[in-house]
Amino acid sequence: MTTLEPALPGRMTPAGRAAAGVVVPPVVVLAVLLTGWWAYAKLTGVASIVLPNPVDVAAVFMERPGFLLRHMAVTAGQAAAGFALATAVGIAAGAAVSMSRHTARGVMPWLYAWEALPKVALGPVVILWLGWGHAPKVMMAFLLSVGVITINTVTGFRRLPAELVELAQSLAATRRQVFIRMRFWNGLPQVFTGLKIGAPLALIGTVLGQLLSATEGLGWIIRVTTVDTPLVYAALVLLAITSMLINSAVVGTELVALRWHRHTNH
């Protein structure tokens, strides 16, 4: 017979230990990196215009928090919009392509060719099409992430054992039923792999658009700031945080979706 023991002061619950196991290691790594950064800047005497001291970068956050957070919100919003559009288009297109083996064989080489294309070359063309507002940044986020999402969706939905397809056909299952009941759930982990790769690419596309043409956003700060290096590094830190937030949203969605997936298959 098991009994529930009350949590005693000073004793960490299992949930607390699990949370600490997730939070503590990254914090320790961050502390080591900041210490190494500070020590390198101090000991080498590198010019602050090349590598500012982390204390100076922290001072920028203290002095201009509203300014930095406003531009971070612009960048995050544009990246999220482009990524959401790429997710919808990539999964829909991948599902359509995966329905036919011949279609997949014809389309996949062109998807790989698209991924090999240097997207920075598309920046001036996108600006020419869409102007200088939010639209070109959202479009660049979309263009950089849609290919990898589509490829992983097709790969996941096509990765179904032939014997399972034959079994479903022997039971008179329609192509739509095979897709919904088998291909979709079997390929969902691969779809999320594409989403986790596409999320940072969307942010890269947004920043690229801001570097080319913008009046706001973290990319704009980096482009227009020349001698205020601590501000540039503060923008870079916020870009890293933005990427982590977007990736955390995708990972959280994956945990919920795949847990539901496991429940529906038991």
- Asked: is 74-264 a CATH 3.40.50.10190 domain? The reply is no
pLDDT higher at 26 or 139: 139
The CA distance from 154 to 95, in Å, is 6
The CA distance from 202 to 205, in Å, is 5
pLDDT over 70 percentage in the chain: 81
Rounded to two decimals, the pTM is 0.83
What is the per-residue pLDDT across 3-46, written as a single tens digit (0 to 9) for each?
Answer: 545 555 556 676 666 666 667 787 888 889 889 988 888 888 88
| Distant-in-sequence, close-in-space partners of 15: CB < 8 Å, separation ≥ 6 | none
Residue 159 in tokens: 């990765």
Q: Nearest-CA neighbor of 115 among 194, 207, 210?
A: 194
Which pLDDT value is given to residue 2? 47
What is the per-residue pLDDT across 66-120, written as a single tens digit (0 to 9) for each?
Answer: 999 999 999 999 999 999 999 999 999 999 998 888 888 899 999 999 999 988 8
Supply the mean pLDDT for the chain: 85
The domain segmentation of the chain, as residue ranges, is 74-264
Burial class (CB in 10 A: 0-12, 13-18, 19+), 137: buried
User: What are phi and psi for residue 225, nearest 5 degrees?
Assistant: -85, 125
Q: Tokens 């070109």 belong to which residue?
A: 136
DSSP 118: -
